[in-house]
Structure 1
């Protein structure tokens, strides 16, 4: 694989655009469109919250129907969740506006929203935004970057990534963008993610790959323990790379899987490190677990604990907080088997060894925890399974941001 510049417009045949529609934000763009020159096979994963936004149900219908997908329209600022029939009408109006402007069937147009729950979308602004974007769609790298910025809410940085690899002598490109900063918890998060590729691949295999990759990437993020109503991750493949269609789990499928995992993991880590109010990325790596589920459960418990997150913010090597979180996670283990470490680019420090605390250098521990990326490593010494979860520290700014989110 080769990492390249760009995002969703990196693969052949994909265009993007952004627009300042004034849906909630002023003085910035707040709508984006991703469009393929030809219809795409599509796959998707969505929130497990029982309260689902209208756009989530709209997109699930497209993905599960076996239909093609050719465009996605995203707005930031208003979530279109808990909005009743009016919310569904807004989805349809947006999709039909794309049909009018670009001539693609409205039932191949996905829609996505992020922002405040319980507010109705201004349909006239959405339609106007679609018209504005239809005329400026571009294959340029900059168009993809601008789209990744337009979908931000409380994010402080845009998130995009792209790479290439070879399949049957053809160069295949995969690009992606995502947003997410708060209301983030496993299964998935307040995240919108869009991945494009010019690979030709069977739709069923696409869905299997995406559903599998999500388990160890986006589903391993937690910022604040809240699972959103709007989580949407869409994958579109238009086949324009010209490779023979992948129809079985062979070597070519493995290459695609690795590329998809790489992009999703990169975006997941970027989202976790950009959690609302965060000052650093906080990762937990669990090794030597009995089962994969145990490893995932333990890692998520460590990064999900408010006390753990506060300790990371304060650079306090209070290892008991992390062990406590592991203990109530639901995974079964013997504390006398556990080794615990703090790790960053400053080095690695062991603080707990098979049931016993270690007399460690507190100043060195602080220097490790002051870095922008800090990891807690827990070796369970009970098996061969491992998992990594992604989170962030808990700062004063998190409360400030969410206390006045609607104002």
Structure 2
């Protein structure tokens, strides 16, 4: 019998850390090869972590709610053989550096004795062989301690002490009676920035300071689009498929992108090239309890309307249930964000990194609108297109936005149940 140590892998996403959400096993449990050990939250999704060994759980080294770096040991498993069930990676030993030679000057009159050369450093022992899954890499040493979530009980327990420490000294300047400084009464809460929220923040900062943003806005009468949604819900080919106004907007964007290659492109600074994509990786921004996710439908422009509607519904559901796969969260080419579901009329979105444009969809409002020569109450929505001005100029952005608006104004002929 031997005890095998399992370190947190990078899960194939190139990430540096993950959070142990929950353990699916306990000490003393017998596990099989590839049995789920834990649920892990990366910066993109919840992932089930399989066991690389068959044996008995010896120790859980990390508590749920702890964020650990890739390569950190998280569990030990007692196995029947010394080699373990998984492949191993040999880490070569580092040879000791030879001592520097001591020079002497010939014919020098009675030179003082040469200083004793320092003893050569001992050769460090070769690291133990670590059994890991193929592609996971060997254990990585790190001086960083795992970060724990600040749970409600922790700050409640320290609330009284924090309030006492935050009281101003008697000789301090008087405070405004209605001003409550952070921590003054111990009611502030510190929430670790990790997982999806951290990834989102890093991506937005990178995008804002690397791509020159510009935006255009267009108000559109979408009364006919909303009527089409109701007809499509009753269409026999779409029975059981969730069709919404967002589905119509996505189809309109995919149709307009056919004649707007600049909108579906990417700036490659390393090679000084512009990549115009042959197909569309359509991203749908989804607000979740873990933060904003943008899963993608790859080759969305090749799908029929019915398949597109099903893919979009499944994408939103999986994002909210934290079952989105890393492949779905890979970089896309064009994104739609629906801020209208929160009652917002319009907004100027920040570009997802690597994309040329993003469309923000506002809330649909009943507004007085000119229709067939008269003023009538119509359903109107605001469309805002943000774009990378290196890739898209004002004319190109305007042509794309008006093309989308034209389709939404009269959708029956342009969409034709793609």
**Structure-1-length-normalised TM-score:** 0.24
If asked which structure has higher relative contact order (CA below 8 Å, sep 6+), I would say 1
Between Structure 1 and Structure 2, whose CA radius of gyration is higher? 2
**Structure-2-length-normalised TM-score:** 0.24
